[in-house]
Structure 1
């Protein structure tokens, strides 16, 4: 595939006039606004020791000294490591890990050291270092319930979580039917996180945390309470400061009740990482943090699970369509005999789409490549290709004139010249 010549992007707008009405914010809308403000205020640690306050530098040195005293023998020093990083010996990657534990306990050395010691014991008992390739029998949950998929715009690996599948009682019993099954599921869920953590740099100035996206649609909160609490406890105790941002999508009305209950027990730093998106707004929210070529199709992106096996995804172009607006995307400079392949996705769907090829020659007629049709929510990204007979341009039309809602969208394309050209 070779890239095509420059593309022009024209917008034909037919706005809908709406009466101005008083608008009263709901609690969930107010909660989302507050979370948005907090998320902008959150600043991720760079883990440069030189950036630390004198008291924080002292705490880092103190925990190193106490670790050295506790792990004096050579055998003990070998055991004092996490994610392949020895915590003793002067490695700057160790500073990153130690600072995570210190940050989680407000730089109180004794508490951070206690947390670290328990974590080391848990990892050894859990055999966490050797579990990423372990077969646990949850193939059907891969790419569905919890999975690593792509990166955000700043390079953080992204972990998606969606537990709506467990509203089916048979599936719930199959996975959580007894204590032994629950333990096995928890091990699998830790395995998914371990895969994400192993993608981190553990370097000052590097990517040292992941993004968590949690889809609350259809989640059976009551049935999953035990599993959710245990997962949360495991992660809080053993993976401090490993999450740069927590994005909740498809948030139902009852989330506000749960949030108000748990909010007093959360630190301001934890709450500052929250991004909350109501049901139906997932694409618009995710586009703010993740490029569309890295977002799974079910959330309004262009990425399929199989795409991850082929190296970095082909970049896509983002755009938005206001309510009452029609957008024409023109892909120009297509040579005769070339094959153009394109993909297009719209978050929220429920609008009209068509494609037309317009030859450059004035005596030629435009050709309808795809007749106008409704793009519905259940569809994946539109994907098609067309082989031209003569030079011209492809026009993709997205018509949102019957809707009042703004929608985010993305597209990408590639052009393969014919074997006989040039």
Structure 2
């Protein structure tokens, strides 16, 4: 074994400094060309301003750091997303008439599980989701002020600026009593995102904010509801 080893020819070694220098050169080149690419795509599609640089760089690498080719590829991607995921936002439906009050801790765990699920499904470049609180069938047996306040606290304190819009629909008159008790706990920024929708304007209002392909069938859209645990 020792004689065999002595016959092996050892080629020239590559120093770690050389490797690091090449990596630095590549990163610098990528950074400069990402700026060129960003300027190209933002002129043609202003929504590209919301895209983080890591995504720009991924498209650049896919086209060997050629800004023109990468820009063309990226703009096609943006157009595709607008058709396939029109608002880039998950739609959360809360069927409040099915809620049965339990312990606050159990409800908090459910809310956290739901919000984690929703946030994990958000496409790159988008941070907010749209929610619809459907109060059809809601009654005093569903009222859960402590649960609502706990859920609101989690949303506002632990998931800030995740809620884009909340539509409250099919509102029974008796709900307003619970709403008056709950309302003071909502911060001013969240209040601006809440809209009560009249039944006669339901479909029209929702379709103004949510693309038909992303709106559930029960509200005039084309999407089927998927239970949160199966999403």
Unaligned runs of at least 5 residues, structure 1: 1-45, 49-90, 94-150, 167-171, 307-422
2:138 aligns with 219
1:214-363 matches, cutoff 5 A: 214-221=133-140, 223-256=143-176, 259=179, 263=183, 266-279=186-199, 281-305=201-225
Compared CA separation, residues 271 and 209, structure 1 to 2 (3 A):
same
1:162 aligns with 95
Query: SS of the counterpart of 1:160?
Result: strand
- Is 1:190 aligned with 2:112? yes
- Select the residue among 122, 138, 150 that pairs with 1:200: 122
2:71 aligns with none
Residue 262 of structure 1: CA displacement? 5.2
Question: How far apart, in 2, do the equivalents of 1:256 and 1:184 lie?
Answer: 25
Q: Deviations for 1:149-183, whole angstroms, at most 9, x for unmatched residues?
A: xx9742111111112124xxxxx3xx72xx3xx53
List structure 1 runs of 4+ shifted beyond 6 angstroms.
none
- Select the residue among 125, 128, 131 that pairs with 1:209: 128
Compared CA separation, residues 153 and 249, structure 1 to 2 (3 A):
farther
Compared CA separation, residues 153 and 252, structure 1 to 2 (3 A):
farther
Question: How far apart, in 2, do the equivalents of 1:160 and 1:196 lie?
Answer: 11
Query: SS of the counterpart of 1:211?
Result: strand
2:38 aligns with none
Q: How many residues align?
A: 149
Q: Deviations for 1:34-68, whole angstroms, at most 9, x for unmatched residues?
A: xxxxxxxxxxxx879xxxxxxxxxxxxxxxxxxxx
Question: How far apart, in 2, do the equivalents of 1:289 and 1:234 lie?
Answer: 25
Compared CA separation, residues 219 and 280, structure 1 to 2 (3 A):
farther
Residue 255 of structure 1: CA displacement? 4.8
User: Do the aligned residues in 1 keep the contact of 2:139 with 2:174 (CA within 8 Å)?
Assistant: no
Compared CA separation, residues 220 and 257, structure 1 to 2 (3 A):
closer
Residue 280 of structure 1: CA displacement? 5.0
Compared CA separation, residues 92 and 274, structure 1 to 2 (3 A):
farther
Question: How far apart, in 1, do the equivalents of 2:111 and 2:134 lie?
Answer: 16
Query: SS of the counterpart of 2:146?
Result: helix
Question: How far apart, in 1, do the equivalents of 2:92 and 2:152 lie?
Answer: 15
User: Do the aligned residues in 1 keep the contact of 2:145 with 2:181 (CA within 8 Å)?
Assistant: no
User: Do the aligned residues in 2 keep the contact of 1:216 with 1:250 (CA within 8 Å)?
Assistant: yes
Compared CA separation, residues 92 and 265, structure 1 to 2 (3 A):
farther
Residue 258 of structure 1: CA displacement? 5.0
User: Do the aligned residues in 2 keep the contact of 1:252 with 1:278 (CA within 8 Å)?
Assistant: no
Question: How far apart, in 1, do the equivalents of 2:85 and 2:208 lie?
Answer: 9
Unaligned runs of at least 5 residues, structure 2: 1-48, 56-83, 227-231
Compared CA separation, residues 221 and 284, structure 1 to 2 (3 A):
farther
User: Do the aligned residues in 2 keep the contact of 1:282 with 1:299 (CA within 8 Å)?
Assistant: yes
User: Do the aligned residues in 2 keep the contact of 1:210 with 1:242 (CA within 8 Å)?
Assistant: yes
1:100-115 matches, cutoff 5 A: none
Residue 248 of structure 1: CA displacement? 1.0
Q: Which has the higher helix share?
A: 2
Q: Which has the higher strand share?
A: 1
Residue 201 of structure 1: CA displacement? 4.9
Query: SS of the counterpart of 1:251?
Result: coil
User: Do the aligned residues in 2 keep the contact of 1:248 with 1:276 (CA within 8 Å)?
Assistant: yes
Q: Deviations for 1:284-309, whole angstroms, at most 9, x for unmatched residues?
A: 22111112222222222222247xxx
User: Do the aligned residues in 2 keep the contact of 1:252 with 1:279 (CA within 8 Å)?
Assistant: no
